Structure 1
């Protein structure tokens, strides 16, 4: 194949306009025709290409030999005669929806354009491209300079044919962007205006920066490319990343069951799971999910475990609009009181320094919920881990920072207890509470920027607390949880990883289980996860039947559930 450099790009097309307006498909329009290069100039390209109003088919595939191509010296295809979508309406109304699709076989993984139509210099327009990590991304840039993106969570298969299509719908506000790579769907939310036409040429396999300027060349073959205003269903769940369908019956000592709460993610990301025992073998799990942590589309999702199976997740708390403002939602926390009342606490607001607490209550195990309660007064409630119930029924919440919070009357009134941090340990947050009996409470704390976890103790049922001090367990600046067991021991689920010097946090793998007879000396019991990735923010309870249930974030795309037998854990 000859590499055509500088001012010469590969000129495509003998295409006739087919009017498909009656079918609702926007047209590619061409004013004239151009001859293709001779067949020996581009390996694999036939003497003619065929096209219709929305698709260009390159029989046998066009081979782009760009492995060593430098900027301004590579091969790509250019639609020479200013194609446009009639749906653009010359910028009067704009194209409200858009679909791009490419079938391709990459030989080299590199940042490269698959299909692009943008203005040179401003990048206004749209493009589907391959990232340097081997993922596929859709990018749209409005005339006001704002850019929205969605990137596939899975990667292409080098040396094999891949199919990617991307959809954008400006008429929607939530999950209005979607990329589907080899059947795996990734969705996101982003604000963009209807697309008016661009002055740039449509290019396949590379971009144009101006006369004689080009780059981001694709290395491999492209068999077809399509642009239309007929979008795929954005609500269609599609396939998901490959994952073990059934992990029951693992041979690790102490583990009775491992499973995902769901196989098909209802949102692009999920995090901060919590679990409560409802009795009679039933559990309820909750987590937050949306485009990503901190996004305004994040909601609180729940699923019920009954009869050995998890129900389909439902969005129990949708994004919060209050007093004319949308708020982010964070860190749900489930807690069942001895009275039978179930609480679903959650946070709303900007990042944690400005969180406020809200909660729902249920008298039927979470099948129906009350209206949201907003205690006010800058209460955090339980910041990540479950409260404990004191002997008199008081709900005592591990708020973190420099305080605890409690309610003696099931949420009607609240009180705050503060404590000292004389050593000024950094980022002491998200405590886990352990009851030792006789009014003795222990709190273990996540730390930010420190090498170890922290703790303090109360000997009067939480009315006062000792000063904070460090313990021997490492801190990676991530959430953990702990529970007291019916046999008198204590169990901790955490990442046994330190925070490197100068870093905000450490790796969120491995995920470990440790046990202790006194809450002071901890012995390793199990490693739940030790592969690359993120396995974090566990929640742990012991159910009425004595089984231990652990639930945690699995790579931010699923929630995982593990059942442990405490009798099999080393004493």
Structure 2
């Protein structure tokens, strides 16, 4: 059994760990890994992106790619697809455009998400090689994390959020807001549509549910997953309201299933259920931040709530109710993203992605202790428990 602080066997091989379940760790040699993203391709292969380097936020952090070929039980060797010596490259998203794979990701200066912009790169050979790197969105503070959605009307929807700067103050996320970027010309141009009343709500996941679109959010206040709806193809949204599902100010991901259901992966915990936690992003462990902390009399983001368990939830009624099962449990401490910090080693299970495989199994990946990306293949029988 791999212990907290140790590195697991990161060879990409999926091994049986329980009836109806396979587990493995993606092949990577980096000290720190985070924020994986899965895509089931039209040919049945599974593509996965993540970012890795010495520590999140540092300029040696780059985007990496691996794939699980259809019918295979081992991931291909990792391919490095970005390398900016001045910016930390993070939060990759993958989608298909015809016969091309398209990777998009953020690029920021250390510790300051409000300096980020979004890049993109294309592959015509399934991710073995990649074309030129281009700028997709150049507005400072633009961040992504969630899947691009193509709806029946030929419209593309990409959830993004803005890390809005405050003069003289360090970025902590307290002024972040969500927008939906809409393209009606296959990504050639985009128009931003703000999500009203989305202060502190980020990582929006859009899921088609019949004649509506469901939006689910991470909360900077570490209280609950929030939800809203659109009936006009993503141009306008109802006011986001808290659901019964908790959130710990960590990433979630939701994807539609072929049977009409929804799969959601998240940490089934909120801030008021546990201690310790911290109320801003910056402590003595983190470095490279600029500006002053936020004033004491404003609503502050809540950071440091444990990031565990890693939970799968299935809804068969458009997100009104959910059946949950934990994929992995643990202490989930995440008071630092520095893998060399030994006083309280990181044990988070976080930033999950989920996709439905061609045979109906679900594949989930997530950050394991910041040291690896864990991949778990779950059969319908395992999910039903």
- TM-score normalised over the length of structure 2: 0.76
Partner Cα distance (1:280, 1:546) in 2: 15
TM-superposition CA deviations, 1:32-57 (whole Å, max 9, x none) = xxxxxxxxxxxxxxxxxxxxxxxxxx
1:257 to 3, 22, 36: 22
Given the alignment of the two structures, is residue 469 of structure 1 paired with residue 245 of structure 2, yes or no?
no
Residue in 2 aligned with 1:349? Answer: 108
Partner of 2:338: none
| Residue in structure 2 matched with residue 285 of structure 1 by the alignment | 48
Structure 1 segment 401-480 matched on structure 2, within 5 A: 401-421=177-197, 427-438=200-211, 440-480=212-252
Local SS of the residue matching 1:370:
coil
The aligned counterpart of 2:171 is none
Larger Rg: 1
- 1:88-107 matches, cutoff 5 A: none
Determine the C-alpha separation between the residues in 2 that align with 1:476 and 1:519: 23
- Provide, for residues 99-138 of structure 1, a one-character-per-residue CA deviation record: whole Å limited to 9, x for no partner: xxxxxxxxxxxxxxxxxxxxxxxxxxxxxxxxxxxxxxxx
SS of corresponding position for 1:487? coil
Query: Once the 2 structures are TM-superposed, how far is the Cα of residue 385 of structure 1 from its aligned partner?
Result: 1.3
**More RCO (CA 8 Å, sep 6+):** 2
| Map of 1:329 onto structure 2 | 89
Q: How many Å apart are 1:379 and its aligned residue?
A: 7.8
How big is the shift at 1:527?
1.0
Q: 1:376 to 1:479 in 2, by over 3 A?
A: closer
SS at match of 1:569: helix
Q: Which residue of 2 aligns with 1:520?
A: 319
Change in CA separation of 1:382 and 1:459 when aligned onto 2, cut-off 3 Å: farther
Matched, 1:550 2:368: no
For residue 393 of structure 1, report the CA deviation from its aligned partner. 3.2
1:284-337 Cα distance to aligned partner (Å, 9 max, x none) = 2111001100001111111121232112212111125xxxxx222111111124
- Paired residues in the alignment total 321
Aligned to 2:341: none
8 Å CA contact retained: 1:426, 1:450 = no
State the 1:472 CA deviation: 1.2
In structure 2, C-alpha distance between the alignment counterparts of 1:319 and 1:446, rounded to whole Å = 28
Q: Is 1:340 equivalent to 2:99 in the alignment? A: yes
The offset of 1:382, in angstroms, is 6.9
| CA gap 1:242/1:356 in 2 versus in 1, 3 angstroms | closer
Asked if the contact 1:335/1:344 (under 8 Å) is kept, the reply is yes
Distance verdict in 2 for CA 1:286–1:246, change over 3 Å: closer
What TM-score results when the alignment is normalised by the length of structure 1? 0.53
SS of 2:41's equivalent in the other structure is strand
Report deviation, 1:551: 1.0
Residues 96-245 of structure 1: pairs in structure 2 closer than 5 A: 154=6, 240-241=7-8
Residues 386 and 466 from structure 1, CA distance in 2 versus in 1: closer, same or farther, beyond 3 angstroms? same
Q: 1:247 offset after TM fit, Å? A: 6.4
For residues 242 and 360 of structure 1, do their structure 2 counterparts lie closer, same or farther at Cα, with a shift above 3 Å needed?
A: closer
Aligned partner of 1:299 in structure 2 is 62
Relative to structure 1, is the Cα distance of residues 507 and 377 closer, same or farther in structure 2, using a 3 angstrom cutoff?
A: same
**Which residue is 2:174 aligned to?**
none
- Identify if the C-alpha distance between structure 1 residues 451 and 525 changes in structure 2 by more than 3 Å, giving closer, same or farther: closer
* Corresponding position of 1:42: none
Distance 1:554 1:393 in 2: 37
Q: Within 2, Cα distance between the matches of 1:562 and 1:569?
A: 12
User: How far apart are the structure 2 equivalents of 1:543 and 1:409?
Assistant: 28
Task: State whether structure 2 residue 260 is matched by structure 1 residue 488.
Answer: yes
SS for the counterpart of 1:474 is coil
